Structure 1
């Protein structure tokens, strides 16, 4: 693993226009794109303007395949197992909706931290008679693998796990869950929205059938892009809609679904956005996910210690200390989290804020109505973190009416 030394970090920040304007700690919402990613999108847009959008699609399709190859490298799979979508939620929904029809008595097991958008999709199975059951947590707040094993039987048709929940630093035991799923041959979906680009992500080691993540988060790609991985041996069980001549091409006698993950794609797609995603993925692979992960972990471990010394600030993280992600959830005494986000934004500091709808099962279980969230990137510096700490200290002292 090649470490991210100060000179390398300085070059990466210089190549990211937003770093010169804001202290950005909202990478879990959407990260800052590089100038290279912007140039890749502008280049394809200009080709479309000069040559015609359909004619420029020849180059655009090549860039799309570069994005697919880079995504496959990141996930340790083949390009044929990768599809693109407009968002992580759209990708998860398409895969879920492509499963065989649900029946009364079917069971779906989810972690308490499941993303609200995924739960909204699962509601359609519940309306068909399926049962949605929450896997108990261990003493650190993570999904209990032992409890999960005791819940498995022939009626379980899906295990769904949000690997890194949106409301704090927890890293769920995704690979251990995958071992159980594979042993019992139960379909296993992973929401890796906050994990892709932050943690090493090997789909073979995870043992998942479906995995999705948004391009705009730690991958630093453009909004409107997402990755969908579908295990090749699982693909034949899925019948996605909508379809067109790309996802279900004419075979001379009729239309049949493709035998790769592109059965989830349609021919109408933004090649401008995918050109940007290709560049972002290539840049990430060039830096190295191990170096990125270590940099984020070092910053997050130190920041958590600093935050714990701030009067009135209470961290709302779950997980084992020293084994948490770059997402740090907290509340500040006297402050509405959304008002705090706005107050920091006026100082040129970006953070996130989430309500119950993001992770309703977990937020309700912990009696939380909202959280503020710091999401660190390898791009962040110690100087930026000091600015954040000073601003939080000032706001804590004066209160929202100060």
Structure 2
């Protein structure tokens, strides 16, 4: 991987250290040019005409996302963010009184709110699976909690609040063994880890463009496998998801298209396709190795600093690193790093109340390097943290 060449094609690398890729990564020049080209086409031709002219690029986004996750283009649906993609999947699950929804103790807040709402509406029950001694979802407890009432397992592969990588494939194997639908939130994994939906054993997978995939904001997608399409009845129907027979009935579009809406920002769609193509060209194995290595380098460096504590859980960890500084709030530390043009973020307690109650450590500083981050930038960040902690 030619890191310097990649940095030259990333405008944001010229004047700052960007360690907030778990929030929103830096666009490449290639993706920026693709989006500008599509926007100019819309300005010159009109929106509908530009869509017609760009049909090959638009179709290519579906094809590329399918390659990214190991599915087919017909199994991909595009959305304006990953939460809407996730909602389209979850709210289509038929649930009734006594049915059970199983999730983990580090599930993202938006998902938990949806679980509670559906439970209140339908009489279904939300069951939170405890963590094991490593801080990841307890697989034995999960298997023990599944019974004939269990309709769906929802899991966040990489939680927003730390570097934990949940054992998604093992969860998928358990779900398959019990014939339970498995919805996997891969928002922080897409663009950071290799993804193979068959190996993961999931029925539904959602992701975003703006994080480690380095795509534009306002992009998300859903992969829906054949078993999910067969079992789910989408919660919303419109002209983009179905065809009206002219009478009193309609037919769903084939595959995941039944979850989509008609209107899209094709500037964003083309930008997303460009970002996915770049990730595929680099190779997700190589991306994961470098990103994980930089995360470990940063985590080890923070652990060595007086007054600094890291808080990442799990037997497997990724490029997300969380830490606290004795006597310094996460927000103050973030602001002081920003003065040196080092961009990080902080965890938000309300985004993961289960984890907040369990550990009582939030808010934390959250660092998230990516493959274009340099070792010198890690060293510079550690030096600045040392001064803040002094």
- Where on the TM-score scale, by shorter chain, does this alignment land: which range? over 0.9
Is 1:31 paired with 2:25? yes
Contact 2:322 2:367 in 1 (8 A): yes
The structure 2 residue matched to 1:47, chosen from 41, 47, 58, is 41
Contact 1:174 1:206 in 2 (8 A): yes
What residue number does 1:303 align with? 298
State how many pairs are aligned. 388
Residues 2-401 of structure 1 mapped to structure 2, 5 A cutoff: 4=1, 8-100=2-94, 102-127=95-120, 128-251=122-245, 254-320=249-315, 323-397=316-390
Shift of 1:346: 1.5
Contact 2:312 2:322 in 1 (8 A): yes
Contact 1:212 1:227 in 2 (8 A): yes
Shift of 1:262: 1.1
In 1, Cα distance between equivalents of 2:218 and 2:341 = 25
Contact 2:156 2:166 in 1 (8 A): yes
Contact 1:163 1:173 in 2 (8 A): yes
2:364 is paired with a residue of what secondary structure? strand
What residue number does 1:400 align with? none
In 2, Cα distance between equivalents of 1:267 and 1:157 = 30
In 2, Cα distance between equivalents of 1:62 and 1:264 = 22
In 2, Cα distance between equivalents of 1:60 and 1:212 = 25
2:242 is paired with a residue of what secondary structure? coil
Contact 1:60 1:272 in 2 (8 A): no
Shift of 1:333: 1.0
Normalised to the residue count of structure 2, the TM-score between the two structures is: 0.97
Shift of 1:241: 4.0
Backbone CA RMSD of aligned residues: 1.2
In 1, Cα distance between equivalents of 2:137 and 2:62 = 31
Greater mean alpha carbon deviation, residues 12-21 or residues 246-255: 246-255
In 2, Cα distance between equivalents of 1:131 and 1:245 = 33
Contact 1:200 1:293 in 2 (8 A): yes
1:126/1:317 Cα in 2 relative to 1: closer, same or farther (>3 Å)? same
Shift of 1:61: 3.2
In 1, Cα distance between equivalents of 2:57 and 2:136 = 39
Contact 2:293 2:319 in 1 (8 A): no
Greater mean alpha carbon deviation, residues 130-139 or residues 282-291: 130-139
Shift of 1:371: 1.2
